[in-house]
């Protein structure tokens, strides 16, 4: 009896007959072609999330209200979805700063041979490490979240200041820009941003508008630097804010007088100020009676929060303050502030302060308790006017923060 003919078998799940030796090769070729269309894997470690929604991209560019004479700085252009719309709007020139060579190559390829290529200038590098930004009128950026804070401060410090900045941020960071005194997210970033610029919300952007989708939602904000700029030193202003927001939930008396690293810094700055202004200083050792009084005052300054804070409240406050690390607070302050308990009067190894240290301490107490009456106020509850009052009073006493 003749055997029944075998039915062709198929590879599991791919519908390819084994009897056709060419079908498998064709399928593999198709997969290879599909893989080649995927340019490269996005590096999410440096914030590569490409904005894929053309409607959102167009809305961002429209909010910039570009003019034909504008030079636009774009940070992190990626594959050029925003860049294309900026060029279509007729900007005079687009300066795109891209860190990833692969992205830079893709951006160059996209516009190569087009009329717009003459108006596109590509800078390969890290925008934060650039010693100076080129001149620009408008900044537009789908900002890599890892550089949100340093980029914001770099833009705020730019002189001459840009006309406007349209920036995409992680939602929580964007909310910090709007935060008011007393809000949980109120921080050095909030005060600095609102001191130097007028900030408005543009739109919310869901994570599905990106490829690959990030883990967080996003917001677009419009930052318009104030003109004329406030007539104060940016370095002095930011230096003061760095000090007071090291422990924003502690009263200012404790933040200054109870933190040895802060007082050491102010003492060093005061000595520099006196040297530059030919002011003679006697930095000899203090007398025993004065030293004892200084010890008692230091303990009082360090324990000033004890009557109003429980241990649990202090722990919660410190936990909240740790969330503000993206505000670029220097590790020097944070590490030294946590060691202040070792400086209590009972420590026999404590270094004896000299007369200059006592003079600076007296000046700080005068500013906090007499001149401004802000000694018992917490940084998270102070507004722009309070900080301006502090800076002015400290500078009158020769105390500087840069």
Rounded mean pLDDT of 8-21? 45
Q: What is the dihedral of CA 189, 191, 194, 196, to 10 degrees?
A: -90
**Residue 292 and residue 151 share a domain:** no
Rounded mean pLDDT of 349-369? 85
Look at residue 44 in the predicted model and tell me its pLDDT.
55
What's the predicted TM-score (pTM) here?
0.70
**Residue 255 and residue 188 share a domain:** no
Look at residue 37 in the predicted model and tell me its pLDDT.
42
Whole-number Cα distances in Å, 280 to 271, 275, 285: 9, 8, 16
Q: Which residue would you say has higher pLDDT here, 241 or 32?
A: 241
Q: Which residue would you say has higher pLDDT here, 182 or 353?
A: 182
Boundary residue ending a domain (172, 206, 225): 225
Does residue 8 belong to any structural domain of this protein?
Answer: no
- Sign for the CA dihedral angle at 102, 104, 110, 112 comes to negative
Per-residue pLDDT band for 178 (boundaries 50, 70, 90) equals confident
Does residue 178 belong to any structural domain of this protein?
Answer: yes
Rounded mean pLDDT of 166-185? 94
**Residue 246 and residue 154 share a domain:** no
Look at residue 247 in the predicted model and tell me its pLDDT.
87
**Residue 218 and residue 90 share a domain:** yes
312-348 burial, b for 16+ CB within 10 Å, e for fewer?
A: eeeeebeeebeebebbebeeebeebbeebeebeeeee
Whole-number Cα distances in Å, 376 to 251, 260, 300, 365, 391: 5, 18, 13, 11, 17
Look at residue 390 in the predicted model and tell me its pLDDT.
97
Rounded mean pLDDT of 316-324? 46
Helix axes 384-396, 234-244, angle to 10 degrees: 110
Look at residue 109 in the predicted model and tell me its pLDDT.
96
**Which own/partner contact pairs does 237-240 have at CB distance under 8 Å and 24+ positions apart?**
237/192, 237/195, 237/387, 237/391, 238/153, 238/188, 238/192, 239/400, 239/401, 239/402, 240/387, 240/390, 240/391, 240/394, 240/401
**Residue 312 and residue 274 share a domain:** yes
Q: Which of 4-8, 51-55, 89-93, 230-234 has the lowest mean pLDDT?
A: 4-8
- How far is Cα 238 from Cα 222, in angstroms, rounded to an integer? 22
* Domain with 133 in it: 45-225
Inter-residue contact 74 to 141 (CB < 8 Å): yes
Whole-number Cα distances in Å, 124 to 73, 121, 135, 154: 13, 10, 17, 18
Question: Regarding beta strands 210-211 and 50-51, do their DSSP bridges make them parallel or antiparallel, or are they unpaired?
Answer: antiparallel
Boundary residue ending a domain (225, 254, 282): 225
Most confident by average pLDDT, 4-8, 24-28, 225-229, 303-307:
225-229
Rounded mean pLDDT of 145-156? 91
Q: Which of 14-18, 45-49, 239-243, 289-293 has the lowest mean pLDDT?
A: 14-18
Rounded mean pLDDT of 123-150? 95
Inter-residue contact 144 to 77 (CB < 8 Å): no
Does residue 17 belong to any structural domain of this protein?
Answer: no
Residue 297 above 90 pLDDT?
Answer: no
- How far is Cα 377 from Cα 362, in angstroms, rounded to an integer? 19
**Residue 365 and residue 220 share a domain:** no
Rounded mean pLDDT of 13-41? 47
Can you spell out the DSSP letters for 270-307? HHHHHHHTT-----PBPPHHHHHHHHHHHHHHHTGGGG
Task: List the one residue out of 402, 393, 220, 242 whose CA is nearest residue 324.
Answer: 242
Does residue 385 belong to any structural domain of this protein?
Answer: yes
**79: domain CATH number?**
3.40.50.150
Q: Which of 93-97, 201-205, 335-339, 384-388 has the lowest mean pLDDT?
A: 335-339
Look at residue 318 in the predicted model and tell me its pLDDT.
46
Look at residue 283 in the predicted model and tell me its pLDDT.
75
Boundary residue ending a domain (204, 225, 246): 225
Look at residue 250 in the predicted model and tell me its pLDDT.
92
Rounded mean pLDDT of 2-12? 48
- Condensed to tens digits (0 to 9), the pLDDT of residues 238-288 reads 999 999 998 899 999 999 999 999 999 999 999 999 999 989 888 778 665
- How far is Cα 93 from Cα 81, in angstroms, rounded to an integer? 16
Question: Residue 148 contacts by C-beta under 8 Å, 6 or more apart in sequence?
Answer: 169, 170, 173, 326
Count the domains in the chain.
Answer: 2
Look at residue 285 in the predicted model and tell me its pLDDT.
81
Taking all residues of the chain, what is their mean pLDDT, rounded to a whole number? Answer: 81
């Amino acid at each position: 009896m003749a055997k029944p003919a075998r039915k062709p078998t198929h590879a599991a799940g791919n519908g390819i007959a084994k009897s056709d030796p060419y079908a498998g090769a064709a399928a593999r070729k198709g997969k290879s072609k599909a893989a080649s269309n995927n340019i490269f894997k996005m590096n999410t470690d440096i914030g590569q999330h490409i904005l894929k929604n053309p409607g959102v991209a167009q809305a961002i560019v429209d909010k910039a209200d570009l003019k034909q004479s504008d030079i636009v700085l774009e940070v992190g252009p990626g594959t050029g979805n925003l860049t294309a719309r900026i060029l279509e709007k007729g900007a005079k020139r687009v300066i795109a700063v891209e860190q990833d060579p692969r992205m830079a190559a893709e951006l160059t390829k996209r516009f190569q041979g087009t009329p717009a290529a003459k108006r596109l200038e590509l800078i390969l590098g890290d925008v934060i490490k650039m010693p100076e930004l080129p001149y620009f009128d408008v900044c537009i950026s789908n900002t890599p979240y890892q550089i949100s804070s340093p980029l914001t401060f770099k833009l705020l410090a730019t002189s001459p200041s840009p006309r406007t900045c349209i920036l995409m941020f992680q939602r929580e960071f964007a909310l910090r820009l709007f935060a008011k005194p007393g809000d949980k997210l109120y921080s050095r970033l909030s005060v600095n941003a609102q001191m130097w610029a007028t900030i408005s919300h543009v739109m919310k952007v869901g994570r599905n508008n990106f490829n690959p989708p990030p883990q967080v939602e996003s917001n677009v904000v419009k930052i318009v630097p104030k003109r004329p700029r406030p007539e104060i030193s940016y370095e002095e202003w930011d230096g003061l804010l760095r000090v007071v927001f090291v422990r924003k939930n502690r009263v200012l008396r404790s933040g200054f007088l109870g933190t040895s690293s802060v007082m050491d810094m102010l003492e060093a700055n005061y000595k520099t100020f006196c040297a530059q202004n030919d002011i003679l200083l006697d930095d000899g050792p203090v007398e025993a009676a004065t030293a004892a009084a200084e010890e008692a005052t230091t303990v009082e300054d360090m324990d000033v929060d004890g009557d109003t804070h429980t241990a649990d409240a202090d722990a919660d406050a410190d936990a909240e303050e740790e969330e503000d690390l993206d505000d670029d607070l220097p590790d020097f302050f944070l590490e030294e502030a946590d060691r202040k308990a070792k400086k209590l009067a009972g420590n026999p190894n404590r270094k004896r302060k000299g007369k200059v240290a006592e003079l600076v301490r007296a000046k700080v107490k005068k500013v906090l308790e007499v001149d401004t009456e802000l000694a018992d106020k917490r940084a998270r509850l102070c507004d722009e006017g309070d900080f301006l009052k502090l800076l002015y009073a400290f500078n009158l006493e020769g105390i500087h923060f840069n």
